[in-house]
Amino acid sequence: MVYRDKRPRKGRGIKVSDLNREISTLVGQLKGISKNIAKDSKKILRPAGEIYVREIQKRVPISKKKHYRYKSKRRFATYYPGNLKRSIQDLKLQNTSAVIIGPKVTGGTGGTFSGTRTDGWYAKIIDRGAPAVGRRPKEFNLITKRKSRGAYRRALKKQRYAKQGGIKGANFIRKGVISARPRALVIIQRRLIERIKTLQQ
């Protein structure tokens, strides 16, 4: 859950760089005395992870109608409003000491996604945007083989989103992470201190 953002945060009273340094020192102390660093890490990080989940979820666009996904020209899945928002969660991965926050993906299983059943496979598309399928920018014909790929990419960037039927990126992940980070770091700092004190007793 490390996200580096050097912009000043006015009025929050939290200096992120100082918190980062102190947390690094505390982590070093914990590693020196913990007999199960993976277990301790998850206990410390999970409450902070909840902050990230909430802040990212708040920024996920919610459609007013359900959408469908097709495979081989047949309806494969139905997504009800709020599916993507609900899919953002602590993924509870077992093979890491980190807490990973992201969209829960079913791995290719279709059906109906509503309530607690979610599939966030399209999170990247909504977050970062996507060009309209099969459409080239108008400027494409003006770009010759002698010109660089950069010229094509710049032209493509101008034409790729809403005007051509594409999807403009919502950047909900970055926005949520920036909002959550100061509070999450304070929680991590406090829980590190508490755990170190407990282990030292």
DSSP class per residue in the chain: ------S--TTS---HHHHHHHHHHHHHHHHHH-S-HHHHHHHHHHHHHHHHHHHHHHTS---SS-EEEEETTEEEEEE-TTHHHHHEEE---SS-SS--EEE---SS--EEE-TT----TTHHHHHHEEPPTT---GGGGG--TTS-HHHHHHHHHHHSSGGGT-EE---HHHHHHHHHHHHHHHHHHHHHHHHHHHHH-
* 67, 102: one domain: yes
In a domain, 82, yes or no: yes
Q: What is the mean predicted confidence (pLDDT) over 124-133?
A: 82
* 88, 142: one domain: no
In a domain, 196, yes or no: yes
* 98, 194: one domain: yes
Q: What is the pLDDT of residues 6-23, one digit of tens each?
A: 444 443 456 788 888 999
* 38, 106: one domain: yes
In a domain, 2, yes or no: no
In a domain, 8, yes or no: no
* 85, 155: one domain: no
* 83, 62: one domain: yes
In a domain, 69, yes or no: yes
* 152, 97: one domain: no
Domain count, the chain: 2
State the residue range of the domain holding 187: 16-131+166-200
Can you give the pLDDT at residue 134?
A: 52
Task: Collect all residues with Cβ–Cβ distance below 8 Å to 186 and sequence separation of at least 6.
Answer: 14, 19
User: Token match 């102390």: residue?
Assistant: 29
* 29, 96: one domain: yes
pLDDT level of residue 167 (50, 70, 90 thresholds): confident
Q: What is the pLDDT of residues 177-200, one digit of tens each?
A: 999 999 999 999 999 999 999 999
Q: What is the pLDDT of residues 85-113, one digit of tens each?
A: 999 999 999 888 899 999 999 988 999 99
